[in-house]
Amino acid sequence: MDYEYTDKCVTPWGGMLQMKRLPDKTSIRKILEELGLPEGRCNHCIDAVSIVKSFG
The number of helices, as runs of H, and strands, as runs of E, in the chain is: 3, 0
Q: How far does the chain reach from its first CA to its final CA, in angstroms?
A: 17
Q: What is the pLDDT of residues 12-51, one digit of tens each?
A: 777 777 777 777 788 888 888 888 888 888 888 888 888 8
Tell me if 39 sits within 8 A of 31, measured CB to CB: no
pLDDT of residue 54: 78
Confidence of residue 2 (pLDDT cuts 50, 70, 90): confident
Q: Could you state, in order of their start, the residue ranges of all structural domains in the chain? A: 1-56
Which amino acid is it at 23? P
Look at residue 1 and tell me whether its pLDDT is greater than 70.
Answer: no
Spatial distance between the Cα atoms of 1 and 30, rounded to a whole number of angstroms: 24
